[in-house]
Amino acid sequence: MAQQTALSAPELVDRIVAGERRALARAISLVEADTPTGREVQAALYPRTGHAQTIGITGSAGAGKSTLVGALAREERKRGRTVGIVAVDPSSPFSHGAILGDRIRMQDLTSDGGVFLRSMASRGNLGGLSETATGVIDVMDAAGFDVVIVETVGAGQDEVEVATAAGTTVLITNPGGGDEIQSMKAGLMEVAQILVVNKADLAGSDTAVTQLKALLAIADLGAWTPPILKATAKTGEGIPELVDAIDRHQEHLHSSEHAEDERRALSRKQIVALARASLHRQALEVAHGSGALDDLVSAVAARRRDPRSAAESLLEAVKREWAASE
């Protein structure tokens, strides 16, 4: 494609702020590809963020997250709010089908001008997932959506970090997922501000609620106690109550006596997560680019070296790279 129509960062920013969807889509692609223009747009738009309710929806594969996001978006629309959706796909062999399935599930939404849906692959992009997804959420926030929802599978560190970059994180579980709930990392419980047992039309939802309550009782909670809700995303049952709970948590974030602390805690989490993601990516780039990692792997596998000092060597190589690029 010819580049003659490429817009500069300030032009993109103006158009996004004016509500132009094509400019928004373009900017999101640039942020995803982690281009210099993408970074410039992100930085320029950041002061305009903070108006949207940002909501992270996480939970294991097949928990009904996409169905619930669709139901949530419909309820938000009923309440007169515009909605931006970011679906982070785990790039499984089924991912293509999943994205397609999501599109079909959300078809009525994609024809609604008040909804903007974007799917992202969690692997294979140049930037790390946390880096790009957080940027995409911010761009949608600055574009003026009232609500920005991000769906991720709470599988890896990256995915959890993306979900928790949102103001309100909702953790989705299912009845009969007893083993899963039992083995659920306390950490995952503690990052969620709302717990939902979805597929409440199936048997065992009360047991799941009881198990979650028991886990909450031993969790290290702050000023907010996560409500535990039941929902049937497929029919929309329980969704208005979920939106009410999200609103209550957002109110807590913004107007409680803890608002400043909450904002600082969220900002701290985002900065640390982004720095970690960036370091991780750079370390891997240097390791793969120089072949240094293969040498270290051989040494450690043969027990000629210990992994800890090998990791230090890898970091030394990253530092040398930084020094050389200065």
Ligand X SMILES: Nc1nc2c(ncn2[C@@H]2O[C@H](COP(=O)(O)OP(=O)(O)OP(=O)(O)O)[C@@H](O)[C@H]2O)c(=O)[nH]1
- The residues binding ligand X (CB under 6 A) are 61-67, 98, 153, 198-199, 201-202, 232-234
Of the two residues 13 and 106, which places its CB atom closer to ligand X in the complex? 106
Of the two residues 116 and 274, which places its CB atom closer to Mg ion in the complex? 116
Which three-class secondary structure state does DSSP give residue 35?
coil
Residue 77 site contact among ligand X, Mg ion, none (CB < 5 to 8 Å, cut-off depends on kind)? none
Q: Assess 66 for contact with Mg ion (CB under 5 A).
A: yes
Instruction: Give CA–CA dist 203/225, Å, rounded.
Output: 26
Instruction: Give CA–CA dist 67/72, Å, rounded.
Output: 9
Of the two residues 66 and 205, which places its CB atom closer to Mg ion in the complex? 66
CB of 162 to ligand X, least distance (A): 14
Of the two residues 42 and 67, which places its CB atom closer to ligand X in the complex? 67
DSSP state of 127: S
From edge to edge, which strands make up the β-sheet containing 83-89? 115-121, 83-89, 147-153, 53-59, 168-173, 194-198, 228-231
Closest to 246 in 3D by CA, of 72, 71, 64:
72
Residue 23 site contact among Mg ion, ligand X, none (CB < 5 to 8 Å, cut-off depends on kind)? none
Q: Which residues contact 292 (CB under 8 A, 6 or more apart)?
A: 286, 313, 314, 317
Q: Do 118 and 148 form a contact (C-beta atoms < 8 A)?
A: no
Of the two residues 231 and 296, which places its CB atom closer to ligand X in the complex? 231
Whose CB is nearest to ligand X?
64
Q: Which residues contact 224 (CB under 8 A, 6 or more apart)?
A: 193, 249, 252
Residue 293 site contact among ligand X, Mg ion, none (CB < 5 to 8 Å, cut-off depends on kind)? none
Of the two residues 66 and 173, which places its CB atom closer to Mg ion in the complex? 66
Whose CB is nearest to Mg ion?
66
Choices 39-47, 58-66, 204-212, 301-309; region in contact with Mg ion by CB under 5 A: 58-66
Of the two residues 52 and 57, which places its CB atom closer to ligand X in the complex? 57
Of the two residues 64 and 226, which places its CB atom closer to ligand X in the complex? 64
CB of 69 to ligand X, least distance (A): 7
CB of 161 to ligand X, least distance (A): 17
CB of 198 to Mg ion, least distance (A): 12
- Residue type at 179? D
What Rg do the C-alpha atoms of the chain give, in angstroms?
21
Q: Assess 232 for contact with Mg ion (CB under 5 A).
A: no
Residue 202 site contact among ligand X, Mg ion, none (CB < 5 to 8 Å, cut-off depends on kind)? ligand X
| Dihedral over alpha carbons 260, 75, 234, 56 (to 10 degrees) | -20
- # residues contacting Mg ion (CB under 5 A): 2
CB of 83 to Mg ion, least distance (A): 16
CB of 325 to Mg ion, least distance (A): 39
Between helix 157-164 and helix 259-290 the angle, nearest 10°, is 150
- Which tokens belong to 21? 């969807």
> How far from chain centre, in Å, is Cα 299?
37
Residue 152 site contact among Mg ion, ligand X, none (CB < 5 to 8 Å, cut-off depends on kind)? none
Closest to 146 in 3D by CA, of 219, 83, 104, 188:
83
Residue 19 site contact among Mg ion, ligand X, none (CB < 5 to 8 Å, cut-off depends on kind)? none
Q: What angle do CA 101, 53, 262 make, to 5 degrees?
A: 125
Choices 25-33, 65-73, 74-82, 211-219; region in contact with Mg ion by CB under 5 A: 65-73
Q: Which residues bind Mg ion (CB under 5 A)?
A: 65-66
